[in-house]
Amino acid sequence: MADVMKKIPVREQDPKVRAGNFDEVCLGYNEEEAVAEAQRCLNCKNARCIEGCPVGIHINEFIAKVKERDFTGAYQIISESSSLPAVCGRVCPQETQCEGRCVRGVKGEAISIGKLERFVADRAREEGIRPAKPEKTNGHKVAVVGSGPAGLTCAGDLARLGYEVTVFEALHKAGGVLTYGIPEFRLPKDEVVAKEVENVESLGVKICTDVIVGRTESVDELFDEGFEAVFIGSGAGLPMFMGIPGENANGVFSANEYLTRNNLMKAFRDDYDTPIFKAKKVVVVGGGNVAMDAARTALRLGADVHLVYRRSEAELPARAEEVHHAKEEGIVFDLLTNPVEILTDENDYVTGIRCVRMELGEPDASGRRRPVVIEGSEFEMACDAVIMSLGTSPNPLIASTTEGLDTNRKKCIVAEEESGQTSREGIFAGGDAVSGAATVILAMGAGKVGAKGIDAYIRGKEA
Contact set with other proteins (CB under 8 A): 170-172, 180, 209-212, 215-217, 237-239, 241, 243, 247-248, 250-251, 253-254, 256-257, 260-261, 264-266, 269, 271-278, 347-348, 395-397
Q: Is the CB of 217 or the CB of 455 nearer to other proteins?
A: 217
Helix H or strand E encompassing 421: none
Contact 89, 117 (CB under 8 A): yes
H or E stretch covering 48: helix 48-51
Contact present, 294 and 182 (Cβ < 8 Å): no
* Amino acid at the residue 402: T
- Least distance (Å) from other proteins to the CB of residue 287? 19
Least distance to other proteins from the beta carbon of 190, Å?
11
Three-state DSSP at 234 gives coil
Please tell me what DSSP assigns to residue 446.
H
Q: Which is nearer to other proteins, 241 or 379 (CB)?
A: 241
What residues pair up with 369 in beta bridges, in sequence order? 363
- Shortest reach from residue 231's CB to other proteins, in Å: 19
Q: Which residues contact 318 (CB under 8 A, 6 or more apart)?
A: 287, 288, 289, 291, 292
Toward other proteins, which CB reaches closer, 91 or 398? 398
Q: Which is nearer to other proteins, 95 or 191 (CB)?
A: 191
Could you tell me how many residues make up the chain?
463
CB 23: neighbour CB atoms within 10 A? Answer: 13
Nearer to other proteins, 212 or 360 (CB): 212
Smallest separation, CB 318 to other proteins (Å): 21
Nearer to other proteins, 30 or 274 (CB): 274
Q: Is 189 helix (H, G, I), strand (E, B) or coil?
A: helix
Report in angstroms how near the CB of residue 124 gets to other proteins at its nearest.
27
Q: What's the Rg (C-alpha) of the chain?
A: 23
Residue with smaller CB distance to other proteins, 22 or 277: 277
Strand, helix or coil for residue 461:
helix
Q: 315 with 291: CB under 8 angstroms?
A: no
Q: How far is the CB of 216 from other proteins (least distance, A)?
A: 5
Tell the smallest beta-carbon distance from residue 451 to other proteins (Å): 25
